[in-house]
Amino acid sequence: MGAQFQFSKRRIEALGLPEEGREQYRDSRTPGLVLRVTTTGTKTFAVYKKVNGRPVRFKLGTFPTMSVEKARQQAADILGEMAKGKKPAEARREARHEATVAGLFDYWLDYARQHKRTWSEDERLYNKFLKPWANRQLSSVTRRNVEALHARVGEQNGRYQANRLLALIRAAFNKADRLEYHGPNPATGIKKFPEQSRDRYLEAHELRALFASLTQEESLFADFFLIALLSGARRGNLQAMQWADVNLDLGVWRIPQTKSGHPVLVPLIPAAVEILARRFEEANGNPWVFPTRSKTGHLIEPKTAWKRICRRAGLTNLRMHDLRRTLGSWQVALGSSLAVIGKSLGHRDGSPATAVYARLTLGPIRESVERAGTAMLKAGRLLEAPKQKGQDDE
C-alpha cells in the first residue's frame, strides 16, 4: 500500500504519475478509502478492506468527476454496512440504495405541508443550509456534522435560526424510518443555544429617523413598512395581503389564516386606511396589496429594502419584526392591558398573555392600536402635535 495523506483536490491534482504500473495512496481521514493513479493519469477512488484475511476492493469513481467528499461519503457508507455484518457485495448494494438527505427532505416537506402551517420555513431552512448535503446518504450524516453546522449557523446567522435548523434536522430524521433508514438520529443530544427574547423597539427619535428614511424609498416598500408598524401584522401575512380581505369602510383587515391557525381581525387606524386607499386606487384590479413580478405575484423578500432603509436612517440592530414589537411597546406605554395588546397582535389563544381574549371585542383593540399608532406618528413627526390651549393660528 502506498503513502498516506489527507486527500484534497489540490493535493490529488499535484500527484505525479508513476513510471510504470500504478501507484496507490490512502486517505488519512477515511480509513479504507484509497486512490489509484496510473501511468496515463487516470485517478480512481476505491474502497479497500481485508475480509477474513482476503483483500476486497470496490471501485467508486474517477477523479475529478467524483469529488473527494463524495468518495469519502460512499466509502463510509459501504464500510458502515460491512460493520453491520453485511457481506461486501451486499454492503455495496445497500449503500447505493440508501436514502439521501434530499430524499428525506422531499418526504419531510410533503408531510409538513399537510401537518404544519410553517412548512415554508422548513423549506427555506433546507434550501439555505442543507442543500449542500442533498446527495449525501443518511448514514453519512454524523452528529459531528450536525454540531459543526449548528455552530456555524449560530455564529453567522444567529442562535435562533441555528436552533430552528437543529429542530428541523431532528424532526426529519425521526421520520427516516419511513424510508427504510434505521440508523441513529444525528441531531439527538445536541444542545440548543440559549435564546434571549428581544426587547428592541423604536423610540421617538428613532421613529423620526425611520420616517425620514421612508420618504426617500419607493412607495411599495415605504407603504409596506408603515402598514407593518401601524398594524403590528406579521411579515408573511402582510406580504400576502389581498384586497378581498380588506374593508376600508370599516377599517378592518381579516387575515384568513395565521400562525395560530385561526383567522384574525386587524383594526386599521385612519393613517393606515389612508395609505391603503391610495394603493387601492393605483391597484388597477391587481388582487395583491403589495404586488410584484414574483412567481406568487406579491412581495416576497423585502430584506434588501429594509437594510437600505435602516442604513439611511442610521438604525442598528433593528429587524423587521421589531416594528411589530414597537406597536406593542407603545401600547404598553399608553396604558393598554396585556390582554388587549396580545389580541391586537394576534397572539394564539391559550398563551399566558391571551387567556382572557375570548371575551374581548374589537372596540378596545381598535382604540388601543389607534392611540399607539397616532402617538408614534406624532413622535415621528408624520402628524402634527395638537396645539396647546390658547395657541393661535399663525
**Per-residue pLDDT averaged across 52-66, rounded?**
79
**CA geometry: angle 11, 35, 52, nearest 5 deg:** 145
Task: Give, in order, the Cα–Cα distances in Å from 193 to each of 141, 150, 155, 186.
Answer: 21, 9, 11, 17
- Look up the pTM and report it: 0.51
Q: Average of pLDDT values for 200-223?
A: 91
Query: pLDDT tens digits for 134-168?
Result: 888 888 888 999 999 999 999 998 888 899 999 99
Contact residues for 296 (Cβ-Cβ < 8 A; gap 6+): 240
The 10s digit of each residue's pLDDT in 283-324 is: 999 999 999 998 889 998 898 999 999 999 999 888 888 888
pLDDT given for residue 128 in this prediction: 92
The pLDDT tens digits for 313-361 are: 999 888 888 888 888 777 777 776 666 666 666 655 544 433 332 334 4
pLDDT value of residue 354: 34
For residue 87, pLDDT over 70 is answered with no
Confidence at residue 172, expressed as pLDDT on a 0 to 100 scale: 94
The letter for the amino acid at 332 is V
What is the full DSSP assignment across 52-117? TTEEEEEEEEEETTS-HHHHHHHHHHHHHHHHTT--HHHHHHHHHHSPBHHHHHHHHHHHHHHH-T
Q: Name the band, by pLDDT with cuts 50, 70 and 90, for residue 388.
A: very low
Half-sphere exposure of 218 (CA within 13 A, CB side): 7
Helix (H) or strand (E) holding 9: helix 9-13
Alpha carbon distance 38, 67 (integer Å): 18
Residue 193 has pLDDT above 60, yes or no: yes
Give the whole-number percent of the chain exceeding pLDDT 70: 82
| pLDDT the model gives residue 78 | 79
Residue 378: predicted pLDDT: 85
The residues that bridge with 100 in the sheet, in sequence order, are 137
Indicate the SS3 state at residue 147: helix
Q: Does residue 198 surpass a pLDDT of 50?
A: yes
pLDDT at 23 over 70: yes
Would you call 304 helix, strand, or coil by DSSP? helix
Beta pairing, strands 252-255 & 264-267: antiparallel
Residues 6+ apart with CB under 8 A from 309: 210, 213, 214, 217, 221, 225
Condensed to tens digits (0 to 9), the pLDDT of residues 111-127 reads 888 888 778 889 989 99
Position 64 scores a pLDDT of: 86
Q: How many CB atoms are located within 10 Å of the residue 270 CB?
A: 12
Count Cβ atoms below 10 Å from residue 306 Cβ, excluding itself: 20
Helix, coil or strand: residue 255: strand
- DSSP 3-state of 374: helix
Q: How far apart are CA 213 and CA 229, in angstroms?
A: 14
Q: Is there a cis peptide before residue 194, judged by omega within 30 degrees of 0? A: no
Residue 115 confidence (pLDDT): 82
Q: What is the pLDDT of residue 356?
A: 31
Confidence of residue 19 (pLDDT cuts 50, 70, 90): confident
